[in-house]
């Protein structure tokens, strides 16, 4: 049986492992700990490499007690590509992009729900609920379907239409909520006792952070067990960032990587920037963001439940936080599209953040930077391109159009 317990990142107290409740009485975040001394052995990196390239190759560092409860749809093992043209343009040594959109359900959220629902199957749960800006809801819906559980999902009313399609497709019981993600979270909390739901929301249980941790484990493995100089990640609830940081911390303790942790840099969209505001003002505690005006994406989380841990990760690694505008995000999505990459608004925000930080000198010559594209752009697109694409019947008609230089990317957005 795997040894696992919880530690509070705030007061450092330890507790027995628990499936629910992610916040300590002191307000800190409860994180899973493992007996790393027991896991540690000289060939662990080789053992991982010899297994199939899914996130479960790292099962020693995942909280399920035994592998028989794993709920998998083929998550993790996503590619890491280099953007060589941009390395030259930006005078950086390496720019890597981790393509998290190539997970099941088209986003990194798959990792968290694979781990979380595996834990809940271990415990015999059958009713799961989540509040979400969209991608977490669709991931939970898919994994619940795979696990034979009932999924109840609550998303803001302006959730992108394509994600709503997924919710229906995966058989979730879905509701739109007139409000933001925390309003949807209140519905789950208010209903969980009467409905028998397990709340699988951010910082409500240990599995999601642990699952997302595998992004960091994979990144380290893909970089030949070296750490980059900086990681840029879009932050809403923040459990992706926490997971990647936890991965590097555990790998250091296992002796799999050495040196300093990368600087953790977070990107948010103007109109909902609680982390950026706290970092820039030097606040110890996150202040909930007031009149939220940003668009319905994963980074629109005015009250991140694990906010203080995020602040401490950013500060302790010498990182920073950047707010980018909707226009910069749109422009960045086009730039990545022209590299052949399907970047969600959150992934595009990361790109916009990189450009800002290179401009300001906060990321400098010769650095090695790892970016994450968290979801497919497809999940956010309305159907509108057809109107911009000309129709023809023959090459002769095409020739007549040719000089118009139709469907040029600049003109068709």
Q: Which is nearer to a second copy, 99 or 212 (CB)?
A: 99
Q: Which is nearer to a second copy, 35 or 327 (CB)?
A: 327
Considering only residues 249-268, where is the footprint of a second copy by CB under 8 A? none
Q: Does 403 bind a second copy (CB under 8 A)?
A: no
Q: Which is nearer to a second copy, 202 or 377 (CB)?
A: 377
Q: What are the C-alpha distances in Å from 345 to residues 91, 141, 299, 325?
A: 25, 22, 9, 11
Q: Does 37 bind a second copy (CB under 8 A)?
A: no
Considering only residues 271-290, where is the footprint of a second copy by CB under 8 A? none
Considering only residues 206-225, where is the footprint of a second copy by CB under 8 A? 222
Write the CB contacts of 195 (distance below 8 Å, at least 6 apart in sequence). Answer: 127, 129, 152
Write the CB contacts of 56 (distance below 8 Å, at least 6 apart in sequence). Answer: 62, 67, 70, 72, 76, 114
Minimal CA–CA distance to 115: which of 52, 205, 38? Answer: 205
Q: Which is nearer to a second copy, 40 or 399 (CB)?
A: 399
Q: CB atoms < 10 A from the CB of 343, how many?
A: 28
Q: Does 166 bind a second copy (CB under 8 A)?
A: yes
Chain position carrying tokens 């007139």: 178
Strand partners, 324: 269
Assess contact for 267 and 239: CB atoms under 8 A: no
Which backbone phi and psi does 98 adopt, to 5 degrees? -95, 125
Q: Does 59 bind a second copy (CB under 8 A)?
A: no
Among 2, 4, 94, 146, binds a second copy (CB under 8 A): 146
Q: Are strands 14-16 and 4-8 parallel, antiparallel or unpaired?
A: antiparallel
Q: Does 80 bind a second copy (CB under 8 A)?
A: yes
Can you tell me whether residue 295 is helix, strand or coil? coil
Q: Least distance (Å) from a second copy to the CB of residue 176?
A: 4
**What is the DSSP-derived secondary structure letter of residue 222?**
H
- Site residue total, a second copy (CB under 8 A): 93
Q: Least distance (Å) from a second copy to the CB of residue 38?
A: 27
Window contacting a second copy (CB under 8 A); options: 175-183, 254-262, 323-331, 353-361: 175-183
Considering only residues 342-401, where is the footprint of a second copy by CB under 8 A? 342, 376-379, 381-386, 388-396, 398-399, 401
Q: Least distance (Å) from a second copy to the CB of residue 211?
A: 15
Among 168, 226, 260, 318, binds a second copy (CB under 8 A): 168
Q: Which is nearer to a second copy, 78 or 320 (CB)?
A: 78
Among 8, 31, 164, 279, binds a second copy (CB under 8 A): 164
Q: Which is nearer to a second copy, 138 or 273 (CB)?
A: 138
Considering only residues 324-343, where is the footprint of a second copy by CB under 8 A? 333-334, 337-342
CA 69 from centre of chain: 23
Q: How far apart are CA 190 and CA 130, in angstroms?
A: 12
Q: Least distance (Å) from a second copy to the CB of residue 141?
A: 8
Q: How far apart are CA 342 and CA 337, in angstroms?
A: 6
Q: How far apart are CA 51 and CA 61, in angstroms?
A: 14
Q: CB atoms < 10 A from the CB of 220, how many?
A: 22
Q: Least distance (Å) from a second copy to the CB of residue 374?
A: 15
The C-alpha angle with vertex 182 and arms to 176 and 158, in degrees rounded to 5, equals 35
Q: Which is nearer to a second copy, 104 or 216 (CB)?
A: 104
Q: Least distance (Å) from a second copy to the CB of residue 153?
A: 9
Q: Which is nearer to a second copy, 114 or 294 (CB)?
A: 114
Assess contact for 345 and 332: CB atoms under 8 A: no
Q: What are the C-alpha distances in Å from 62 to residues 4, 156, 186, 248?
A: 9, 31, 29, 14
Considering only residues 82-141, where is the footprint of a second copy by CB under 8 A? 85, 99, 102-106, 141
Q: Least distance (Å) from a second copy to the CB of residue 407?
A: 5
Q: Which is nearer to a second copy, 9 or 101 (CB)?
A: 101
C-alpha atoms less than 13 angstroms from C-alpha of 337 in its C-beta half-sphere: 16
Q: Which is nearer to a second copy, 13 or 334 (CB)?
A: 334
């Amino acid at each position: 049986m795997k040894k696992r317990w919880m530690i509070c990142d705030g007061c450092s107290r330890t507790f027995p492992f628990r499936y629910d409740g992610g916040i300590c009485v002191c307000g800190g975040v409860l994180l899973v700990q493992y007996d790393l001394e027991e896991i540690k052995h000289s060939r662990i990196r080789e053992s991982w490499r010899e297994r199939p390239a899914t996130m479960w190759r790292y099962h020693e560092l995942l909280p399920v007690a035994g592998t028989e409860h794993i709920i998998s749809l083929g998550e993790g093992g996503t590619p890491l590509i280099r953007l060589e043209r941009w390395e030259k343009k930006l005078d950086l040594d390496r720019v890597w992009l981790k393509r998290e959109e190539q997970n099941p359900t088209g986003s990194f959220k798959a990792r968290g729900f694979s781990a979380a629902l595996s834990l809940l199957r271990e415990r015999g749960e059958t009713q799961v609920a989540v509040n979400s800006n969209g991608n977490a809801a669709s991931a939970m819906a898919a994994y619940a379907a795979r696990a034979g559980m009932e999924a109840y999902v609550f998303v803001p009313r302006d959730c992108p239409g394509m994600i709503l399609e997924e919710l229906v497709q995966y058989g979730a019981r879905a509701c739109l909520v007139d409000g933001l993600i925390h309003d949807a979270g209140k519905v789950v909390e208010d209903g969980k006792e009467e409905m028998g739901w397990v709340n699988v929301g951010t910082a409500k249980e240990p599995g999601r952070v642990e699952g997302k941790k595998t992004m960091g484990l994979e990144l380290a493995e893909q970089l030949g067990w070296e750490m980059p100089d900086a990681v840029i990640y879009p932050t809403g609830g923040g459990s992706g960032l926490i997971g990647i940081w936890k991965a590097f911390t555990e790998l250091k303790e296992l002796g799999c990587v050495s040196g300093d942790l990368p600087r953790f840099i977070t990107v948010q969209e103007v109109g909902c920037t609680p982390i950026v505001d706290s970092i820039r003002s030097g606040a110890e505690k996150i202040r909930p963001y007031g009149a939220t005006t940003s668009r319905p994406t994963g980074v629109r989380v005015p009250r991140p439940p694990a906010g203080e841990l995020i602040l401490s990760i950013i500060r302790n690694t010498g990182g920073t936080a950047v707010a980018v505008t909707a226009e910069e995000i749109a422009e960045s999505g086009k730039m990545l599209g022209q590299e052949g990459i399907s970047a969600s608004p959150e992934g595009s925000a990361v790109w916009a953040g990189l450009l800002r930080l290179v401009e300001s000198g906060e990321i400098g010559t010769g650095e090695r930077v790892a970016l994450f594209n968290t979801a497919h752009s497809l999940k956010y697109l309305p159907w509108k391109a057809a109107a911009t694409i000309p129709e023809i019947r023959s090459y002769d008609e095409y020739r007549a159009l040719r000089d118009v230089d139709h469907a040029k990317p600049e003109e068709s957005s």
